[in-house]
Amino acid sequence: MTKLSVVVPCYNEEAVIDRFDTTTRGVLGDLPIEYEICYVDDGSTDGTLARLRLLAEQHPGATRYVSFSRNFGKEAGMLAGLREATGEAVIIMDADLQHPPELIARMLELYELGHDQVIARRGREGDRPLRTALSRAYYGAVNRWVDVELADGVGDFRLLSRPVVDALLSLPEYNRFSKGLFSWIGFDTVTFDYRNAAREAGETKWRFGSLLNYGMDGLVSFNSRPLRIAIWLGITLAALAALYAVWITVDAMSNGVTLPGYVTLVAIVVGLGGVQMVMLGLIGEYIGRIYYETKRRPHFLVKERCGLPGPPEDPRE
Ligand code: UDP
Ligand code: MG
């Protein structure tokens, strides 16, 4: 191993960034390798950027940062960091010390054994029970419907070898769902477990709504199987309706016409209306994605890069 890059997306992490830097640098300093830390300021509105400028000044060469013109989301932050990283291997970490820097040594050991992706999987200690239960249910469902394997507790905390980083950077899509991309690219992968730590300071950027959206991304980002499900659902409902019609007709012929099935009618109309809305929404979701892809907008805009004004960004050819 010649050089390790640590990529850290930061959004309003003023309260914890210095502590993160000190701890991580302590760990990296003890290892017999060269390292660099690439911070990505994701349009923070607090003093994060000022701290990053200071850190880059204090550790020239070993610390770099990119600052976005606004908040583009963690996916964009990770992408920018991966483009920025020059190391032979890259570790992606959160700035809030929920990803214990002490695990870096362990990851490097596994990397030296020849693994291309080394994943640290967290337990769910300290999470709210509702979030844990929903996550479990979600991953159970999604793995049945989606081609790539998504595992519970497996996040962005991982070491990637250079070939893996290059593979990720070669994927041009606008809608990036990293959890799926990591899994989709393959390569020799190994996972180990660690105990989840509570956030050191600051607060989580995830609201319940954003988690729901993230979940939706996971479902439709990778294949069109949900559309296939829609077709089967349609066929099943049509078959049931045909059977019901036959039964009603036979019943009417043998017993005569009885009271009309008012409730049945309303239930069927409303129910089918709902199913159609859901399926239309599903199709719309895919079309929306096509719409965004065709615009070919950059994933992020750089405002500043280690003190220099950023280039108008888009290396996608
Ligand atoms: N983050 C980011 N952009 C965002 C939201 C989050 O770069 O729009 C960063 C954040 O600074 C942190 C990491 O992504 O380093 C994980 O965020 P958070 O701790 O809020 O997520 P959680 O740990 O609750 O899943
Ligand atoms: Mg966190």
**What is the predicted ipTM?**
0.94
Q: Which of 201-205, 257-261, 280-284 has the highest mean pLDDT?
A: 280-284
Query: What are φ and ψ of residue 190, in 5° steps?
Result: -135, 145
> Is the beta carbon of 205 within 6 A of some atom in ligand 1?
yes
Nearest bound ligand to the CA of residue 94: 1
The single residue listed with the structure tokens 């890059």 is: 5
Task: Give the pLDDT band (50/70/90) at residue 126.
Answer: low
Q: How do residues 34-69 score in pLDDT, each as one tens digit? A: 999 999 999 999 889 999 999 988 988 889 999 999
**Single pTM value for the model:** 0.81
* DSSP structure class, residue 300: -
**Does the pLDDT value for residue 317 go beyond 50?**
no
Contact call for residues 40 and 81 (beta carbons, < 8 A): yes
Ramachandran sector of residue 186 (left: φ over 0; alpha: ψ -120 to 50; beta: rest): left
According to the model, what pLDDT value does residue 70 have? 93
CB of residue 180 inside a 6 A radius of ligand 1: no
Q: What is the mean pLDDT of the chain?
A: 85
CB of 73 shorter than 6 A to ligand 1: yes
Give the closest residue (by CA) to ligand 1 atom 16.
94
Which ligand 1 atom is the nearest neighbour of the CA of 94?
15
* Mutation test residue for ligand 1: of 14, 37, 74, 122, the one with most atoms within 8 Å of CB: 74
The rounded distance, in Å, linking the Cα atoms of 150 and 158 is 15
Which of 75, 3, 73, 68 has its CA nearest to residue 40?
68
Give the residues across from 63 on adjacent strands: 37
